[in-house]
């Protein structure tokens, strides 16, 4: 996992080469990398979908997933981190900690994934291993321990010194496959001693046996240090840092050794916690092939030859071809059809998948991303994943009426694969609206429609996904009464509504006492509130960040129904929201621009003209870094603008940051436009 262009895919290619999976080195810039198998990836030289494969190193089996670095495909990183036991964070030796690095680091921390760092591109001009390590301390707050010292840097980078073993190595042969031990260079002896002592100090803080030896003024043996290091990494206390140049085939074997030595195996993650779907009590599964089967589906993929593939990670027990499994979310049984081990887009059939492994299954119809599949006699729901909300939308329409059904089918398949891509029909205009994480995300979707699904479609102008929010507290007393001869409709509820902080979402609490609203009608009231919030009140955008208390109400023994209470609640929410005062919120993006110093003034002026605010300006060795918060609606076509301002020398990245209130003048225009 890493920022875009740190060298994840090149590193993955080297790992496949050294572990004997591939016999030829694939290169990203030549479009023949094994892990970048999609046409769109080969053309753009970026990773779009996370590719999974399996390799072996020194008698250990490694499941490897190469994830995208671009923020538009952040869901791929999220779901990979949810099912993997360890991660390698790749850093550019020149760029250090970049914006997307911080995002993936936060995701890894959220799922408590032990991490090791690999500082790549040591052969580039300006490469500095220890500067990147200091950057990780400062920006990520990580306890990083350098495990190697580079011999030379930039064009002079020739090998590494192993801090733990106190030995030096170079990498020779056409592809760097020959690792040769050499004497430790004299000019690095002092630095090696210093870093070795630092490693012992760090491990002494977390391991008692190392502490004991250290306090007796003795040097702990390498085996003891290795054992202590593994414990510290698995528990997430330390992050060992390695370096090399994947492109120049240097240092990759040491990283593979570190994966085997430091990162956990499924047995280290002994217990997996979940919830019993029937009793809602905490359930625990322990690793082992003979235990009760449980697995998490983390990715769906449409394969042109096999159909719908469901990728899953087995947490306990084993998956056997043809066996029936249970999905607690749908409460349905499904049969595991063919089981496939995936090598990027190549498939290998197998009869059974063991505990800790990752595989794909054919034939699971109703399983979606985040579902648990398990043994029906011993059900469990494992923790699912949370994905960010889409921030940008466009309207699509088929070029011919004959393409209409094909378009809906294709969009449905793509939405099934990607949880951050959604499609909906606008009830007022009849248009099909697709939403995603950024312009590139939607561009790739349109490209896949044309190539994979043979659907020609036109796309409209990008639209920003606004939200609505309320300003103050309000109350409403809402009645829905309809008498039309025979049985009528009667629903009555009293609601109190109040605003909450950004990112809170919608919460509802039932405070009805004395059975004034019978228990069976509370759920329809909640549904009515949520549905009304989804359709919006001011300009048709979803209403969010509020709390509703259901205070009171009344019912009719004959005329009351679920539908009546749902309508009463929906009317009540709209009334309460209008009383509370409505405002529009817009997505604000955190934009980071790296620019030559002479273009700095133009970039800052441009940020101001886009209603942006400067957060930070940092002077680097050869350029400057500007961090700003800018509304997404002002960022369409930003790539072209920034190129022309800097004669093509500046680069930028952006990621969703927060929703903030739209200025009144702009809100007025948006409301007028939507009301038309």
Quick one: pLDDT at residue 31? Answer: 60
- The answer, yes or no, to whether residue 428 has pLDDT greater than 60, is no
Rounded CA gap, 26 and 9, in Å? 9
Reduce the DSSP state of residue 150 to 3 states and report it.
Answer: strand
- Residue 53: HSE in the Cβ half-sphere, 13 Å Cα cutoff: 23
- The answer, yes or no, to whether residue 540 has pLDDT greater than 80, is yes
Q: Which of 381-385, 398-402, 606-610, 650-654 has the lowest mean pLDDT?
A: 650-654
Average pLDDT over residues 304-317: 87
For the entire predicted model, the pTM comes to 0.73
| pLDDT tens by residue, 489-538 | 999 999 999 999 988 899 999 999 888 999 999 999 999 999 999 988 99
H-run or E-run covering 119: strand 115-120
β-partners of residue 96 are: 92
| pLDDT tens by residue, 19-76 | 887 766 666 666 666 666 677 777 767 777 787 888 889 999 888 888 887 777 878 8
Q: Are 491 and 568 in contact (CB under 8 A)?
A: yes
Quick one: pLDDT at residue 30? Answer: 62
Residue 154 Cα to chain centre, angstroms: 32
Quick one: pLDDT at residue 463? Answer: 78
The residue among 22, 24, 25, 28 whose CA lies nearest residue 6 is 28
Quick one: pLDDT at residue 24? Answer: 64
Rounded CA gap, 171 and 161, in Å? 12
Average pLDDT over residues 639-649: 80
- Percent of the chain predicted with pLDDT > 90: 41
Quick one: pLDDT at residue 413? Answer: 87
Could you tell me which residues come within 8 angstroms of residue 376 by beta carbon, excluding any fewer than 6 positions away?
A: 324, 325, 326, 333
| pLDDT tens by residue, 227-271 | 999 999 999 999 999 999 988 888 899 999 999 999 998 888 778
| pLDDT tens by residue, 170-215 | 988 777 788 899 999 999 999 999 999 999 999 999 889 999 988 8
Q: What's the mean per-residue pLDDT of the chain? A: 88
β-partners of residue 617 are: 626
- The answer, yes or no, to whether residue 152 has pLDDT greater than 90, is no
* Range ranked top by mean pLDDT from 97-101, 234-238, 362-366, 451-455: 234-238
Quick one: pLDDT at residue 71? Answer: 72
Rounded CA gap, 36 and 197, in Å? 41
pLDDT band at residue 427 under the 50/70/90 scheme: low
Quick one: pLDDT at residue 638? Answer: 83
């Amino acid at each position: 996992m890493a920022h875009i262009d740190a060298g994840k895919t090149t590193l993955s290619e080297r790992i496949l080469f050294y572990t004997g999976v591939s016999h030829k080195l694939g290169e990203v810039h030549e479009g023949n990398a094994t892990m970048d198998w999609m046409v769109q990836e080969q053309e753009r030289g970026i990773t779009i979908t996370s590719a999974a494969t399996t390799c072996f190193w020194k008698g250990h089996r490694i499941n490897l997933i190469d994830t995208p670095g671009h923020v538009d495909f952040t869901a791929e990183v999220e779901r990979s981190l949810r099912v993997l036991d360890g991660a390698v964070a790749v850093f550019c030796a020149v760029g250090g900690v970049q914006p997307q690095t911080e995002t993936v680091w936060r995701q890894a921390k959220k799922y408590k994934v032990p991490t090791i760092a690999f500082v790549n591109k040591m052969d580039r001009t300006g490469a500095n291993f220890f500067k990147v390590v200091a950057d990780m301390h400062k920006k990520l707050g990580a306890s990083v321990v350098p495990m190697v010292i580079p011999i030379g840097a930039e064009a002079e980078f020739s090998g590494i010194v192993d801090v733990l073993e106190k030995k030096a190595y170079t990498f020779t042969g056409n592809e760097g496959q020959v690792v040769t031990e050499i004497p430790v260079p004299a000019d690095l002896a002092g630095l090696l001693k210093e870093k070795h002592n630092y490693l012992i100090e760090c491990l002494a803080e977390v391991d008692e046996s190392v502490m004991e030896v250290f306090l007796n003024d003795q040097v702990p043996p390498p085996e003891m240090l290795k054992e202590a290091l593994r414990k510290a990494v698995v528990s997430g206390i330390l992050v060992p840092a390695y370096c090399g140049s994947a492109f120049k085939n240097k240092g990759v074997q040491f990283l593979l050794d570190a994966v085997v030595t430091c990162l956990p195996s499924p047995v280290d993650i002994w217990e997996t916690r979940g919830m019993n779907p029937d009793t809602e009590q905490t359930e625990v599964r322990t690793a082992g092939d003979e235990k009760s089967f449980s697995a998490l589906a983390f990715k769906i993929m449409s394969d042109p030859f096999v159909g719908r593939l469901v990728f899953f990670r087995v947490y306990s027990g084993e998956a056997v071809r043809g066996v029936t499994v249970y999905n607690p979310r749908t409460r349905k049984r499904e049969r595991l059809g063919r089981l496939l081990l995936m090598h990027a887009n190549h498939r290998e059939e197998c009869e059974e998948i063991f505990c800790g492994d990752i595989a794909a299954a054919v034939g699971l119809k109703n399983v979606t991303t985040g579902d648990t599949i398990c043994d029906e006699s011993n059900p469990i729901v494992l923790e699912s994943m949370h994905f960010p909300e889409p921030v940008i939308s466009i309207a699509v329409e088929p070029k011919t009426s004959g393409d209409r059904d094909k378009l809906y089918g294709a969009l449905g398949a793509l939405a099934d694969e990607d949880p951050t891509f959604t499609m909906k029909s606008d009830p007022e205009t009849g248009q099909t609206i697709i939403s995603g994480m950024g312009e590139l995300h939607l561009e790739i979707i349109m490209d896949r429609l044309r190539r994979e699904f043979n659907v020609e479609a036109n796309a409209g102008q990008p639209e920003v996904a606004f939200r609505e929010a309320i300003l103050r507290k309000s109350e409403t007393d809402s009645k829905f009464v309809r008498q039309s001869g025979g049985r009528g409709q009667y629903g009555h509820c009293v609601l109190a509504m109040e605003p909450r902080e950004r990112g809170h979402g919608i919460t509802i609490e039932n405070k009805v006492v004395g059975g004034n609203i019978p228990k069976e009608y509370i759920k329809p009231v909640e549904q009515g509130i949520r549905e009304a919030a989804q359709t919006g009140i001011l300009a048709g955008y979803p209403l969010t960040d509020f709390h509703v208390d259901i205070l009171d109400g009344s019912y009719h023994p004959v005329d009351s129904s679920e539908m009546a209470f749902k309508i009463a609640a929906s009317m009540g929410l709209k009334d309460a929201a209008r009383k509370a005062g409505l405002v529009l919120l817009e997505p604000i993006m955190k934009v980071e621009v790296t620019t030559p110093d002479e273009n700095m003034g133009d970039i800052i002026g441009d940020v101001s003209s886009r209603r942006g605010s400067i957060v930070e300006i940092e002077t680097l060795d050869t350029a400057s870094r500007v961090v700003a918060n800018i509304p997404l609606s002002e960022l369409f076509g930003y790539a072209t603008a920034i190129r022309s301002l800097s004669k093509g020398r500046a680069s930028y990245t952006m990621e969703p940051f927060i929703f903030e209130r739209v200025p009144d003048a702009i809100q007025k225009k948006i409301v007028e436009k939507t009301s038309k």
